[in-house]
Amino acid sequence: MIISAGYPLVFPNDLIEAAANHTINLHGGPLPSYRGGSPLNWQIINGEKNIKISIIKMAKDLDTGPIYCNKKFKLKKNDTIKTVHQKVNNLFPGMVNLTIKKIKNKIKPLKQTNKNIKYYKQRSEKDGLINWNMKNAHQVYNFVRAVTKPYPGAFYYYKKKFRKILRCNISQKNPNFRPGTLFYEKNQKFIKCKKNSIKII
Q: How far is 168 from 123, CA to CA, in rounded Å?
A: 21
Q: Does one domain contain both 106 and 129?
A: no
**How many percent of the chain have pLDDT more than 90?**
94
Query: CB–CB of 130/89 below 8 Å?
Result: no
Domain boundaries, position 167: 125-200
pTM summary value: 0.95
Residue 171 CA: distances (Å) to CA of 44, 139, 195: 19, 12, 10
| Number of domains making up the chain | 2
Residue 63 has pLDDT above 90, yes or no: yes
Q: How far is 113 from 172, CA to CA, in rounded Å?
A: 40
Residue 148: count of CB within 10 angstroms of its CB: 21
What CATH number does residue 166 fall under?
3.10.25.10
Domain boundary among 120, 147, 171: 120
Domain boundary among 57, 86, 120: 120
pLDDT, one tens digit per residue, over 88-100 is 999 999 999 999 9
pLDDT, one tens digit per residue, over 129-180 is 999 999 999 999 999 999 999 999 999 998 889 999 999 999 999 999 999 9
| Averaged pLDDT for residues 22-33 | 96
